[in-house]
Amino acid sequence: MKKVVSVLLSIIMITSLFAGCSGDGKKTSTVQSSADTVISAVYPVDETVVQHTKKQASYLNKPLSFFPLYTNGKKEKSRPDAVEFSWQYNGSADTEYILRLSENENMEDAVAYTSESESISVYNLKLGTTYYWTVEADGTVSDVSTFTTDSTPPRNLYVDGITNVRDLGGWECEDGTRTKQGLIFRCGRLNESSAVTPNIEITESGKRTMLEDLGIKTEIDVRKTSDGETGAIISSPLGDGVTYSSCPMEWEGNTFLDNKEELLKVFEILSKEESYPLIFHCNIGTDRTGMIAYLVNALLGVPEESLYRDYLYSNFGNIGGTRTLKNVEGSGYYAAVQAAEGDSLSEKTYNCLVDFGVPKEQLDSIISILS
């Protein structure tokens, strides 16, 4: 019996010896891992994320007069930087990742994004907002990570195919509150102006951003129809699900007094909660659009310097030339507001619009919706 055991032990030792060698006699290493697959967040984690580009951020932190150092309205520079999410995974290299992003710590109402690599770019997050995120691969889910976006307005947006897009919300008001984000957006045209037949410039990707990410329900187009500026369209390029309201305005002369009927129609639309979220635009989203933006945010209590900064920000868009504060201070709407009664800019704007013909109940509704 002892001899049998001895022989068996010898066989086991010899087998073990050759198990560590390759066919040519070279020693190999066999690694047996018992560790579970792990996916972990890399960026952004517990930090404040800035979505403005370096030039945009520099402009926003300098006196208004410095804006020509950063932009001149002749190139497309209005888009924000993306938030670049990244993570590490020790499982299969050939897998699809699912990033989930939420404003709630319990990940309720999370938005899902897919990626085939360990990173993904996400645009157009809200300002001054705490976000929570996880990433999943092959059934393995990371811990919840968090970060906060910088609160400096404007919330400029990337919508493929159009320029000069931003949220009217996010600005701090005179009373310390902020205007609501995600409800009213300004932008340049969605289709080519002065075309015989509609030539849609917003791309399919841009449409998805407008419809799925921003949830646009209404498009207010203030381009003229008399000279074909609207590009022959009679409905929204975003599709039949979006209400298209044409409010054609002249861009020369006194754009406030000369466009009274159309402006009253715009404020009527803005007073209806069912209109939101909405976009409004002219051709390049600067002057007629800028007038509406000025009046709405001034009504809500946004300080004058912030209104100026938002107007000058249009120079980051491809608007065909430079705009200065003279374009605001020499306008009919600016003169009308300054001449109105009131102790603050918001009071002056309210009284100016009442004198102009906007019913008080409409103005009160706009303030209630957007404040």
User: What CATH number did the domain enclosing 275 receive?
Assistant: 3.90.190.10
Name the residue type at position 18: F
202, 210, 289 from 225: Cα distances, Å = 20, 24, 16
CATH, residue 133: 2.60.40.10
Q: Are residues 201 and 100 in the same domain?
A: no
- The contacts of residue 63 (CB under 8 Å, 6+ apart) are none
Domain of 291, in residue numbers = 153-371
Q: Is residue 16 part of a domain?
A: no
Do 104 and 67 reside in the same domain of the chain?
yes
Same domain for 313 and 208: yes
List, for residues 130-180, the tens digit of each pLDDT value: 999 999 999 999 999 999 999 999 999 999 999 999 999 999 999 999 999
pLDDT at 36: 83
Do 113 and 162 reside in the same domain of the chain?
no
Residue at which a domain ends, from 151, 180, 207: 151
- Give the span between the Cα atoms of 47 and 148, in whole angstroms: 6
Q: Which of 90, 124, 151 is the last residue of a domain?
A: 151
Quick one: 161 and 126 in the same domain?
no
Split into its structural domains, the chain has a count of 2
> Encoding tokens for residue 205?
């990707």
Residues 236, 193, single domain; the answer is yes
| pLDDT one-digit tens code per residue, 45-80 | 999 999 999 999 999 999 999 999 999 999 999 999
Does a structural domain hold residue 26?
no
Cα 270 from Cα 168, distance rounded (Å)? 13
Considering the domain boundaries, does residue 223 fall inside one? Answer: yes
Q: What token pair was written down for 328?
A: 């605001």
Same domain, 73 and 134: yes
Amino acid 67: pLDDT = 95
Q: Indicate whether this model's pTM tops 0.85.
A: yes
Identify whether 192 is part of a domain. Answer: yes
- Is 290 in the same domain as 300? yes
pLDDT tens digit at each of 371 positions of the chain: 444 334 333 433 333 333 344 343 433 222 222 358 899 999 999 999 999 999 999 999 999 999 999 999 999 999 999 999 999 999 988 999 999 999 999 999 999 999 999 999 999 999 999 999 999 999 999 999 999 999 999 999 999 999 999 999 999 999 999 999 999 999 999 999 887 778 999 999 999 999 999 999 999 999 999 888 999 899 999 999 999 999 999 999 999 999 999 999 999 999 999 999 999 999 999 999 999 999 999 999 999 999 999 999 999 999 999 999 999 999 999 999 999 999 999 999 999 999 999 999 999 999 999 99
Residues 100 and 159 in one domain: no
